Each structure stands twice: as C-alpha cells, then as structure tokens.
Structure 1
Amino acid sequence: MRKRVFTEGAEHTESTEQQSQNHAVIILASGLSQRLGQPKQLLIKNGEPLITYMTRLAITTNPQVIVIVVPDNHRFTASTMIELANQYPTVQIVVNSQADTGMAHSLSLGVEAIVALESTSIDRVLIMGVDQVLLDEPHLTALLAGKQTVVASRYHSWRRLETHQNRDKTVSDIIGLPLVIDYKLLRQWQSGLTGDKGLRHLIRGLPADQIGEVDNDQLSYDIDTPEQLAYAKQQGWLDS
C-alpha cells in the first residue's frame, strides 16, 4: 500500500527551523494563461498579485532559496518579481524565454538555478505552481514532514467536483503539485524534463513505498478558465 501523510489531525515533530536547513523551492510561474485570457500570476488575492501571495507562502517554510520561473513576455510579472527579489534575499528570478514549450522546461530551468548555488546542504525541493488559490501553509508543512522520496498532493479534478465528486468514476484523482522531491533524484531526472513531459510520468515509475501523499481537495480549485476565475471570485478566494 502507498504510504500517506494527512494534513488533518496530524502532528508534525519537525520544526520549521529544522526544515529550513535542507530544502529549496521552485515556483513554476511561466504559464502563458492562454485559456484564461490574462496572466494568472497577476490575479489579486488579499490585495496583492497571486505570484506575490504564493512567494510569501513559500517563504514561510524557510527554504534556503526560492527560484521563481517567469515568462519573458509579461513585463508586469517581471517587475513584480524584481520587487520581491529586492525584498527577500532568498528569492531568485529565472526568465523562461520558451514558456510555450510546456511546464517541464520551466522546471528544468529552476533545477539549473539551484544547481548553480553549489549548496551541499539542499536535499529536497518543494515545487509549487501559482494558481491553486486555496493552498496554505499547513499543507506545505505536511508535504515537508513526509519522509518518502516524493511527497505529492492528492486532490480531485474540477470535472469530478462539477459532477458531484465520486459519482463520476471515470475521473481519477490528481497526484501532483505542490510536491516535495529528493534533490538528487530531481537532478537525475532533469534531462528527461522536456515539453509537457513533467514529473508525473517519472513519479509513476517509482516503487509505491517511495511515494507519500497529502490529501487536500482545496487544491482542486486552480484557475485555468474565465469560468473558474468567476467562481473563485464569487467564493471570495480571489479579490473581485
């Protein structure tokens, strides 16, 4: 059976200070938001751009470095990131000039930036997106508390939620971002990160006992379409 780590009712003995000694963060924020029609990085939550909100969330885990991968065609995104980098010394900005090739290239660039640090103490990497608007600090803490090679998030898809969840058995649960992965393994896999071939198909090849999961259906609500954006605003998850 696959080992799981649950957010609800779990007690975590590792302190944030202990966690800060061994992980880096990659925030994948170079999506072009073509279906949404506007940069999702700049949607507003609690009075600030979503990318800023997610960066502050990542900072609460006290990582050694936060690498944010952004597209090169959104000057407003870049300016927001420069402000963050000036404010937080751990933040590094990486520009993806090939954002249309898929998420895998962004991840590869993020790994390159961490490798360039030549840090011998980083042993895990927390990988996040920007559009899971209900992501919170307890969930990231639960991911980092896991001991498996990969500790990933598990949640339903929008489609299952829209069809009253478990009634539609054809829609499988999603096991994906955010996730924590062994740094050495991520470096080994870097050459295989091309186009839309991200980590998911590589993770599936691991033995079940090397994969931990943190269940959190709040992560189902990412923002890809105008309809999803309208729903998030209606629920008060994003500013109107």
Structure 2
Amino acid sequence: MKTGIIILAAGNSSRLGKPKQLLHYQGESLLEIVSKAAIQSSCNPIIIVLGAYAKEISAAHRLNGPTYVVNYNWEKGMSSSIAVGMSAALAHTKDLDQVIISVSDQPFISSEIIENLIKRQQESRKGIVSCSYAQTSGTPVLFRKKYFPQLLSLHGNQGAKQLLKQYPEDSSSLVFELGYIDIDTESDYNNLKLQR
C-alpha cells in the first residue's frame, strides 16, 4: 500500500502576523515537528506545500526527505494547496494508493498517529479516515485513491473537510486527543508554551 503525505504550510498566518510554521515548541519549529513525524512514518512521498512565506521557510527549513513545492495561488485558500500537493504527490508516485493531508501547526502530531490512520484504514476498509478531537473531525486525514479527483478539484478555504461531510458512510476516525491544539493567534502560542 503506497501512502503519501501532504503537509500544508502555505498560509500567511494572518491573525498571528508572522509565519506560524517557524514558531518553536520544545526546540523545533512547528513545521519541523510535523515533517519529522512524516519522515519517521512509512509515508512516501512527503510533500510540503509552501506559499505566503516560501522564501523565509525555505531558508530556515531544509530537511532531507520531503519534496518542497510552492503554491503561488495560496490566497485562494487551503483547497488550492491541497490540489498543488496532490499534483506533486502523483507526479512523484503515479501509483499512489492513498494520501494523508496534514497541517503545519498541530504540535502534538506524531509518526504514531500517522501510522494509526493507515492501520485504521486497513481495519475499517473505509475511503476516508480522519482524526477526532474536541467534538469534530479533522487533520491529519487519510483519503483513498478514489477521492483523488475530488481533492484535485476542491475550491475555496473549506479544504477537504467538505468531503468528510459529504461521505459520512465511507468515513472512519481515530482519537487524537491533542489534535485540537493549533496555532492561529499569539494567545494560542503563549498557551502552547505553557504545555509540558
């Protein structure tokens, strides 16, 4: 089973006013945390989609393993980054079976969570496997190949969440308790730094 992973890191962190991808937690940037989790997993290829702060992030963040691509239309929303990431993943591995979509500001992501998504898909045989936290479902989320055309044609800032709502009967999920912690504001970041 060939599983790729797309890490979305193209946003301009408008509410924070600086690239949240480069904020540090326990000695590593948020983008490094998710990238290393992907590298330690069985996923290949690993596609990191940059956008608003592509130059700054590229200068500060070069790990061996991931493929970096730039979404020059990042202002069109998360869906445009998913499409860019999907195109890059399929260009790298044409016979990809499934893909995991992840974001760059979940500091408690781990390779174990990524592997558990793959395991849950094998057990449930569902086409979509998401993470559940704080009464919602979200990233990281795995999509089987049959959803690739829809991922490539998403529009707006809704991202892939609309597919979760559209196909509940073909969805499974696993608990990622700290998945609700992400960084949108300075206050979010200050709260994160208080976490042990």
Cα deviation, residue 201, structure 1:
1.4
Q: Which residue of 2 aligns with 1:75?
A: 55
Match of 2:75 in 1: 100
Query: Could you say which residue in structure 1 is the equivalent of 2:147?
Result: 185
* Cα RMSD, aligned residues only: 1.6
Counterparts of residues 12-51 of structure 1 (less than 5 Å): 21-51=1-31
Query: CA–CA distance in 1 between the matches of 2:44 and 2:166?
Result: 29
CA distance in structure 1 between the partners assigned to 2:191 and 2:103 by the alignment: 19
Q: Please, which runs of 5 or more residues in structure 1 have no aligned partner?
A: 1-20, 157-172
- The answer for unaligned runs of 5 or more in structure 2 is none
Give the equivalent residue in structure 2 for 1:154.
132
For residues 229 and 118 of structure 1, what CA distance do their matches in structure 2 show?
36
Q: Distance in 2 between matches of 1:31 and 1:188?
A: 21
Quote the Cα distance in structure 2 between the aligned partners of 1:31 and 1:207: 28
Look up the equivalent residue of 2:155 and give its one-letter code.
Answer: T
Query: What is the one-letter code of the residue matched to 1:41?
Result: Q
Question: Which structure has the greater CA radius of gyration?
Answer: 1
Write the deviation string for residues 67-125 of structure 1: whole angstroms up to 9, x where unpaired.
Answer: 100115442202234x21xx22xx111111122221100000001112222522x2010
Q: TM-score, normalised by structure 1?
A: 0.75
TM superposition score normalised by structure 2? 0.90
- Measure how far apart 1:45 and its partner are: 2.5
Report percent identity of matched pairs: 29
Task: Select the residue among 202, 207, 216 that pairs with 2:163.
Answer: 202
Alignment match of 1:117 (pick from 86, 92, 112): 92
Alignment of 1:166-185 (within 5 A): 173-185=135-147
> In the aligned structure 1, how far is the partner of 2:67 from the partner of 2:131?
25
Q: Structure 1 residues 76 and 189, CA, compared in 2 at 3 Å: closer, same or farther? A: closer
Do the aligned partners of 1:72 and 1:78 also contact (CA within 8 Å) in 2?
no
**CA distance in 2 between partners of 1:207 and 1:48 (Å):** 36
Alignment size in residue pairs: 192
| 1:195 to 1:207, Cα distance in 2 relative to 1, 3 A | closer
Residue number in structure 1 paired with 2:105: 131
